Amino acid sequence: MWQDYSNTCYTTQVPRSQFDAEFFKRFYSTTPMHSRLKIETLATAVHEFCKWWDVPVRSVLDIGAGVGYWSDWYRKNHKHSKVVSVDVSEHACQKYGHELRDISEWAPSRKFDLVICQSVLQYLNDSAARSAIKNLAKATKHVLFFEVPTKSDLRHNVDRDVTDFEIYARSGLWYRNELKKYFRQAGAGLWIAKNSTIVLYELEGATS
């Protein structure tokens, strides 16, 4: 029977040691949560949206880069883009070549045209997640791609066989309220930095 994990919330931050070799074997081996092909398809779509908004993606920051599918795609297909990939996992950094960084405690000294933060903030408690979103804003010059499973997703949308439930489950409204302090929502996981030169037509953006 499906167990309701929608109210899962721990009192301390999920330990970094959780993201060891066994974690990556479990979630990125034979039945990965996201395959390389799926991420390449997503990366293509996000990059083309940036082109649609007349944003040349000269710099990319991949937060919680994991097995490196996003950064690999950019390094292969857009060699002139400056790509920085970071992760809190020592294992991932050693194996996939990322910088060891915690977005809840670190912000880069420069802004990036595109920042990617996919399936990261569910591992942070509320205080750390707020700090991470603030640092994402400091890092984003134009576009943020942001994805995180919400309470509703855990009930209705995720693949239960490949989803990690050792997380903090929060509502979509919680994330929207925090992100809207710094970004405009464009839909499909895309958020536009408030100081960006990107112009969204009224019906391109989300109002809820």
Tell me which H or E stretch contains 135.
Answer: helix 126-139
Considering the domain boundaries, does residue 194 fall inside one?
A: yes
Cα–Cα dist 127/107, whole Å? 16
- CATH code at position 182: 3.40.50.150
* 83, 10 contact by CB (below 8 A): no
Confidence of residue 7 (pLDDT cuts 50, 70, 90): very low
**Structural domain boundaries enclosing 184:** 52-204
Tokens 């399936």 identify what position? Answer: 119
Mean pLDDT within 158-180: 83
| 3-class secondary structure, 45 | helix
Considering the domain boundaries, does residue 124 fall inside one?
A: yes
Cα–Cα dist 100/90, whole Å? 7
Q: Which of 2-6, 7-11, 19-23: highest mean pLDDT?
A: 19-23
Identify residue 2 by its one-letter amino acid code.
Answer: W
**Burial tier of 140 (Cβ tally within 10 Å: 0-12, 13-18, 19+):** buried
Comparing 201 with 22, which gets the higher pLDDT?
201
Give tens-digit pLDDT for 73-107.
999 999 999 999 999 998 989 999 999 999 999 99
Confidence of residue 9 (pLDDT cuts 50, 70, 90): very low
Considering the domain boundaries, does residue 173 fall inside one?
A: yes
Cα separation of the two ends of the chain: 34
Considering the domain boundaries, does residue 40 fall inside one?
A: no
Considering the domain boundaries, does residue 85 fall inside one?
A: yes
- Print burial letters for 143-166: b (CB count within 10 Å at least 16), e (below 16): bbbbbbbbbebbeeebeeeebbee
Considering the domain boundaries, does residue 31 fall inside one?
A: no
Confidence of residue 166 (pLDDT cuts 50, 70, 90): confident
pLDDT for residue 6: 39
Cα–Cα dist 166/164, whole Å? 6
Q: What tokens does 61 get?
A: 């920051």
Mean pLDDT within 133-139: 98
pLDDT for residue 127: 97
CB neighbourhood size of 55 (10 A): 19
Give tens-digit pLDDT for 140-163.
999 999 999 999 988 887 666 665
Cα–Cα dist 10/90, whole Å? 23
- The share of the chain scoring above pLDDT 70, in percent, equals 79
Give tens-digit pLDDT for 19-60.
656 665 655 665 556 788 999 999 999 999 999 999 999 999
Considering the domain boundaries, does residue 74 fall inside one?
A: yes
Q: What tokens does 73 get?
A: 């795609």
Considering the domain boundaries, does residue 18 fall inside one?
A: no
Domain count of the fold of the chain: 1
Nearest of 52, 88, 19 to residue 187 by alpha carbon: 52
pLDDT for residue 35: 85
